[in-house]
Structure 1
Amino acid sequence: MFSSSSSSSSLSFDFYAASCPSVELMVKNTVRQASELDPSIPGKLLRLLFHDCFVEGCDASVLLQGNGTERTDPANISLGGFPVIDSAKRVIEIFCPQTVSCADILALAARDSVQITGGPEIQIPTGRRDGRVSAASNVRPNIIDTSFSLDEMSKIFNSKGLSLDDLVILSGAHTIGSAHCSAFMDRFKANPKGKFTLIDTSLDKDYADQLTKQCPAGASSSSTVNNDPQTPLQFDNNYFKVLLAHKGLFQSDSVLVRNERTMNIVAELANDQNRFFDSWAVSFLKLTSIGVKAGDDGEIRQTCSATNG
């Protein structure tokens, strides 16, 4: 298990000031161009960061390809955005060879994804190194499942040095992005006629009807639904308003309004977007500092999908 402060002191805001001063601009331009071609990219990059940092820390271990790597676990099969990170890495290698880690590129790309979609512009330190270990067996014990209870989620967040407040605030990442139908169909049951019936009574009935139309029985496994039904491409506080209306897509969303403490945080963030943005900046900084590797721990990969030599 990793604490958010284990090696974060090795990170700095001017880490590449001399060695690669234009790194942040190169990452931002790559993310912006990719997002203009495919508006789903910001949500994918943000999700990719969460899945990286919660397993082995923020070390780009989720980017490694091969048998038995993190990417092969069912929880990670639907991850996207990998080509964007690879593209940014190729550009950076031209100007600053063997200097910038894939872990830093991923953290910066996720940060930029928030700003590009209307969220706050925040500074994050750099200096992460890339991990050499990526094992599918490490994924399940560390990743939040969409069917989790608040206690189950809180336990994992605490193990990463993140508080209950951080849990609610970072759940706001669901203000952008989409999900496969299979991620929330545990809230329904299929009847013999191939129709879905709502079994999770905490979900708004009209919204549930809308979901069954978007995800009919027998729908393609690639069918997706927006996390936020109203402003899916805008990073804003609407996600929290959606929760208060009992229209959280996942069980793990809905549980946030069933507990008095988390419900109060949700209500505060729903009522004040600036409060959400300020809180996001603090919690995101903690997220991107989980279990970072520094010094002789890790390497600077030449290609993000493979370890060196």
Structure 2
Amino acid sequence: MEKGATVFPFPVAVSCLFIIFILATSVSGSLFFNFYAASCPTAELIVRNSVSSSSSSDPSIPGKLLRLVFHDCFVEGCDASLMLLGNNTEQSDPANRSIGGFSVIESAKRVLEFLCPGTVSCADIIALAARDAVALTGGPMIQIPTGRRDGMVSVASNVRPNILDTSFTMDQMINRFSNKGLSLFDLVILSGAHTIGTAHCSSFRDRFQQDSKGKLTLIDKSLDSRYANELMKECPLSASPSVLVNNDPETSMVFDNQYYRNLVTNKGLFQSDSALLSDNRTRRLVEDLAKDQQFFFQSWGQSFLKLTTIGVKTGDEGEIRSFCASTNA
């Protein structure tokens, strides 16, 4: 981030303050709104500027920041353990090698360390950056409490037992979310993060198979055939591993409820997306969200708050890192 970057405009906030207050104060050790009001009053503004500046030069940044917060919070809690570099850390697991957005967090951290040394955690920066990424792309601007501290443990073997895979069944997803204190409702709402961002061809290649002539054919009949043909053109067998496809084929740069409209027309990119429509436990909610963007935005605020308070460290737990990529020890 360049110092003095222009702050981007945010849409009108969509918040359920009563629910947010209850959830925030129920966290062990407690997180607070405006936690840095006295110690570093411009903290949230600096993070916002970092997201804005980085996104202006790389439109893929908002989607990367959303994926980053998910992968961080589902392993060791929201404590920036995913930021740590080293042998056998979370970043070294193949599931995390395509994670991006680290530079945005580090840029904000450098400015914050200059202005308010030893004050703002990397964990808070990750949560705030993801919040701002949603607002930047047209989604709701919500308040989230801060006061998270950075963890000191990051182990690759902890990744796979905790994160979700795009090939998961509904029961597998429910189990992973339940283990993190998230409900079936949260699962459907937070899956809406796929309304922005991109994916590698390998993440949905299991929906196709190679025929006797060496061509890809559709084997997952829950996928719209025309959409499937478009995917096969974008991701032929000869495609480079670096080829990316938009999660949302309609409004890939906008945080909206198009993701759910895609689902009801059988255009969910991942098998785990399509499962939300095919399962009777979630189909009605998907249909409701496809019809009502305001409902999605209000629900997003509640579920995103729960996501970003998973396993937080507060008080005397953890530390405030000087550099996000390494512990202070």
TM-score by length of 1: 0.97
Is the partner of 1:10 in helix, strand or coil?
coil
Q: 2:66 aligns with which of 40, 46, 66?
A: 46
Q: 1:4 to 1:225 in 2, by over 3 A?
A: farther
Q: Distance in 2 between matches of 1:161 and 1:49?
A: 16
| Structure 2 alignment gaps of length 5 or more | 1-22
Pick closer, same or farther for the CA change 1:258–1:4 going to 2, 3 Å. farther
| Matched-pair contact (CA < 8 Å) for 1:6–1:291 | no
CA distance in 2, matches of 1:36, 1:9: 37
Cα deviations across residues 86-130 of structure 1 (Å, max 9, x unaligned)?
001001111100100000000000000000000001000000000
| Post-superposition CA distance 1:17-72 (Å, at most 9, x none) | 10000000000011001001000000000000000000000000001011100001
Alpha-carbon offset, residue 297 of structure 1: 1.2
- Residue 30 of structure 1, aligned match among 50, 62, 78: 50
1:192 deviates by 4.5
On the 8 A contact 1:5/1:289 being kept in 2, the answer is no
Q: Size of the alignment, in residue pairs?
A: 307
Q: 2:236 aligns with which of 196, 206, 216?
A: 216
TM-score with structure 2 setting the length: 0.91
- Mapped partners of 1:146, 1:260: distance in 2: 19
- The answer (yes or no) to whether the contact 2:121–2:150 under 8 Å persists in 1 is yes
1:156-200 CA distances to partner (integer Å, 9 max, x unpaired)? 100111000000000000000000000000000123543111111
Please state if 1:140 is matched with 2:160: yes
Q: Secondary structure at the match of 1:260?
A: coil
Indicate the residue corresponding to 1:261 in structure 2: 281
Give the distance between the partners of 1:132 and 1:266, measured in 2 at CA: 38
Select the residue among 201, 206, 209 that pairs with 2:226: 206
Matches within 5 A, 1:127-276: 127-276=147-296
Aligned positions of 1:87-98 closer than 5 A: 87-98=107-118
Q: CA deviation at 1:261?
A: 2.4
Aligned residue for 1:291? 311
Structure 1 residues 137, 70: CA separation in 2 closer, same or farther (over 3 Å shift)? same
Letter of the 1:80 counterpart: G
Q: Counterpart of 2:257 in structure 1: which amino acid?
A: N
Is the CA contact 1:129–1:293 (under 8 Å) kept in the aligned structure 2?
A: yes
- The match for 2:4 is none
- What is the match of residue 62 of structure 1? 82
CA distance in 2, matches of 1:24, 1:231: 28
Counterpart Cα distance in 2 of 1:4 and 1:186: 39
Contact 2:121 2:320 in 1 (8 A): yes
Aligned residue in 2 for 1:302: 322
Cα distance in 1 for residues equivalent to 2:160 and 2:214: 31
Gaps of 5+ in 1: none
Equivalent residue number for residue 71 of structure 1: 91
SS state at 2:209 partner: strand
Contact between 1:6 and 1:290, CA under 8 Å: does it hold in 2?
no
Output the amino acid matched with 2:181: G
SS in structure 2 of the partner of residue 179 of structure 1? strand
Cα shift at 1:294: 1.0
Deviations 1:124-164 (A, max 9, x none): 00000000000000000100000000000000100111000
Distance 1:194 1:259 in 2: 33
Greater CA deviation, 192-201 or 84-93? 192-201
Aligned AA (1:87): S
Matched, 1:11 2:27: no
Q: CA deviation at 1:81?
A: 0.5
CA deviation string 1:196-243 (max 9, x = no partner):
111111100000000000001121001010000000000000000000
RMSD between aligned residues: 1.3
Tell me if the contact between 1:44 and 1:177 (Cα under 8 Å) persists in the aligned partners.
yes
Identical aligned pairs, as a percentage?
Answer: 66
Deviation at 1:74, TM superposition (A): 1.0
